[in-house]
Amino acid sequence: MIFFVFFTHQTFSQKTYTIVLDPGHGGKDPGNLGNGFIEKEISLKIAIEVGKELEKHDYFKVIFTREEDVFIDLWKRGAIANDAKATLFVSIHCDSHTNDAHGAGTFVLGLRGNKKNFEIAKRENAVIFLENNYKKKYEGFDSNSAESVIGLSLLQEENLDKSLEIANLIQQNFTKKLHRVDRKVKQDNFQVLRETIMPSVLIELGFLTYKPEGAYLNSINGQVQMGKAIADAIKDYVDHLRLNTVKEEKFNKVNTVINNNTVINNNEVEFKIQIASGKNKIETKPYNFKGLKNIEIEEVEGFFKYYYGVTTNYNEAVESLKTAKSAGYDSAFLVAFKNNEKISITESMKMQ
C-alpha cells in the first residue's frame, strides 16, 4: 500500500546561522604583493575581525577556511562551507592593477560581464594550478576558456537573489560608512564561488597596488573598520532572515511510504530528478553538476531545466534523489512524465 502526505514548507527563522569566512590565498600562495603589502596576511586579519564581531551574537556560528598561514585548495574552501551547511560564504581578497585604480567591490557568481571583470576572475582562479593533482580535480575546466567560464554552478544561480542582497549591503557599508570608492556589485565566474551551494560573495577590499589604499588595508585601523563593515552587513542580512522578510520559497513536498517489495515499473511513466534550472544553457559535463553524470536538459519558456537519474522504476528514482541531495542539490525533487508530458506524482501512482 502507498500513502501520500502533502505539506507546504516555508522558510522560517533558525536558532543558529553558520557563516563561513574564507581569507583568500595563504601558504605558498601569497596573493598580490602590491607596494610590498601581502594579500594573504591582510585578508586573514580582516576575516578574523569579521569573526570577532559576529561572535558577539549567540545566533552566529563562525567557521574559517583557514586561521593561519596555510594553503587551502579552492575546492576545499567550498567543501568546508557545504559540509557545514552554511547560511553564507564570504571570501575575502585584495585587488591589484597596473594603474592607480582603487576602491572596494563585491562579486557574486555569474556570467563574464566584461573583459575587465573576466581578468579579475582569471587571476583569482589561477591559484588552481598550485593545487596538487589539479588536473584530475578540475578536469575539463580551463580558467582562460569562455566555455568553462560559462559553466556555472546552477545552485548558485538559484541563490543569486540572496547573494546580491548581501553583496549590496556590504557595498553600502563600504561606501556610505567608510567612504571607500564604490566599484559596485558585479557578477563573474570565480572558482571558489562555483564550489559553494549557498548564497556566496567574494569581496575585493581594495587595491594594494594603490599605495594609500594598500597602507589603509594594512593598518590595524583599516582592518578593524573593514571587518566591522562586513560583519554589520552580515548581521543586517541575517536579521532579514530571522524576521522572515526575505522572500519565502514555497514548494510542495511529497512524503511517500511504500512497501519494500513494491516496484513500480511501467514504460508509460518516466521518473526524473530535477536538480536545477536557470536561464543559462550549461554543458552536461559532470564537472558542471557536482560529478553527476547523464544529465538531461529541457528548455521551457526561456529556462533550462536539468534532470538526473531518468528511470521508469520508482524505487530507483528515490535512490537517485538521495544521490542528488548528497551531492549538494538539497532542493532537488522528483518529477514524473507520461508521453513526454509532466504529470503529478499522485497521478503517476494512480496509473500503476
- pLDDT tens-place string over residues 17-56: 999 999 999 999 999 999 999 999 999 999 999 999 999 9
Same-domain status, 203 and 280: no
Q: Which of 69-83, 214-228, 260-274, 276-290 has the lowest mean pLDDT?
A: 260-274
Residue 199 CB neighbours (<10 A): 24
Query: 120 or 16: whose pLDDT is higher?
Result: 16
Same-domain status, 78 and 139: yes
Query: 293 or 137: whose pLDDT is higher?
Result: 293
Of 301, 299, 278, 300, residue with least CA distance to 289: 278
How many structural domains is the chain composed of? 2
Q: For residue 297, list its beta bridge partners.
A: 306
Q: Which residue, of 184, 214, 242, is where some domain finishes?
A: 242
Same-domain status, 201 and 282: no
pLDDT at residue 256 in the model: 32
Domain membership of residue 128 as a residue range: 17-242
| Residue 301, pLDDT above cutoff 80 | no
| Residue 4 belongs to a domain | no
| Residue 103 belongs to a domain | yes
Query: 206 or 82: whose pLDDT is higher?
Result: 206
Same-domain status, 186 and 37: yes
Cell numbers that stand for 305 in this block: 531545466
Q: Which residue, of 215, 242, 269, is where some domain finishes?
A: 242
Same-domain status, 279 and 307: yes
Strand order in the sheet with 88-95: 60-64, 17-23, 88-95, 200-207, 104-109, 182-188
Q: Which of 13-27, 86-100, 152-166, 264-278 has the lowest mean pLDDT?
A: 152-166
CATH number reported for the structural domain that contains residue 265 in this entry: 3.30.70.1070
Mean pLDDT estimate for the chain: 79
Q: Where are the beta strands (DSSP E) in the chain?
A: 3-9, 17-23, 60-64, 88-95, 104-109, 182-188, 200-207, 251-257, 269-278, 296-300, 303-311, 333-338, 341-343
Same-domain status, 289 and 146: no
Residue with cell 585548495: 73
Same-domain status, 70 and 119: yes
Q: Say which DSSP state 145 is in.
A: -
CATH number reported for the structural domain that contains residue 229 in this entry: 3.40.630.40
pLDDT at residue 28 in the model: 94
Give kind and range of the element (H or E) at residue 229.
Answer: helix 220-242
Query: 161 or 239: whose pLDDT is higher?
Result: 239
Q: How many helices (H) and strands (E) does the chain have?
A: 12, 13
Q: For residue 89, list its beta bridge partners.
A: 20, 200
Same-domain status, 182 and 212: yes
